[in-house]
Structure 1
Amino acid sequence: MTIDDGRSDVRRQSVRSYLRRWVATSGAQLLVVDPEDDGGALAGAMAPRGVHVNWVSTTTDGLVEFGRTDPLAVIVAPECGGIPAPEFVDVIRRLGASYVLAAGGGPPDAGDLGPLVAAGASAVVPRPYDAQRVWELMTLSPRSVSEHALVHVGPLELDATAFTVKVGGERIADLPLKEFEMLRALMLAAPGVVTDDELRDALWGSDGRRPGSNTIAMHATRLRSRLGEAAVVRRVRGRGYSLAVG
């Protein structure tokens, strides 16, 4: 492996980590209620599409997470513990779930999928889950998936899945990852203030290394120069940073 290859691997890992953090707070939510956890394989594959996967093993936990996350789609396995899966589907449909998928291809004794479909499941998604197939089914949801990937503030448009920034419809030079993360955080809060701690979470996550204010200020300075006159990154003393557009 060359040095450049090594740097590419590090960047890809950093991008994957960022994507998971971003979609956890701003992406489309997919709730999977299935006792057979895949170890995060589906979550990792869906993150680049702007979809955050929340996996629980019982329908009881599924009800809690449904209320907490308001998912775009819900996948339900028939053999889940808790209340019977068809009853769970009926409940979340009455609570407003617009798109429910029945998980097929599970254990031989998983039971018939017919009751799930009768209760309101719109389609069957086979196991083991394939990200492309899940994505294709999610795009059929009455609620839009793509709306979660784009953030607009004035003339600025940020696409978290394509890692692009446009000003007035024209794409600007690609931002380094940290400046991209900072801009996304500021755009989501605009015109409000994002605190230093919130920026640390956005740029480095809540665990591990926690850079000081000077490092944040350095990235803010670089972001200002990259945006030029399109927007102003303003330091609010004692509070954090905000984004303003003309």
Structure 2
Amino acid sequence: MLPYLGKSGALRCTLLAGLFAAGPLLLAGPSVGAEVILTDAAGAPLANAVLLVDAVPAAPQQMYVMDQVERQFLPQVLTVPVGALVDFPNSDDVRHHVYSFSDAKPFELRLFKGSEAPPVTFDRAGAVVLGCNIHDAMVGYILVTESPQFAVSDASGRVSLPDLPDGNWPVSWWHPSQFQQAPVSLGELDLSTPGQTLSLPVTAAPAEPAPALSPLQQRFKTGY
């Protein structure tokens, strides 16, 4: 036997039954998130391009990592907010000597392995070009930005901004081909349209042969 609900309880049950009969209950509120494909001037997917959006801030990240794997920086392009700490672990079995002469953050981490190097604070907006004093083929980039939302495109050119609210927001972009130049504005865009593609005026550069090692690099190539 069901408990007696009284008139108000019976009315609530009747209303709920009507809602479930009409279909699932939908909560009001704007949808969030954007997924965009970036292409170069020829229409090919563009990897390692940064999309910057001046929208409401996303959840902050506490630590950023620029690793060194198989004598390459990983990731090749890292984007961080102004004031971020970046850790530089060395996952190789040889020593690296990381440095930058960029105006946004000149610094040097002398020969180190593993987690010996201290984290570096990036406190000024701009593009920071990284190198290794031992391995000339190692080139990486850290874009330090005041934009509250940003993401780097993957190998398929895909950029994901899961916390982006609906609406038109100021959008800009940056790519390693710009070297230390500032990001380029695209104006105010609505990125919420599914499958949206943005073509950027970037031309793929031909691959260059790896430079020969200098006597100093030959001396230290084994990490000693």
Answer whether TM exceeds 0.5 for this pair.
no
Structure with higher helix content: 1
Q: Highest relative contact order (Cα 8 Å, sep 6+), 1 or 2? A: 2
TM-score (norm 2): 0.27
Structure with higher strand content: 2
Larger Rg: 2
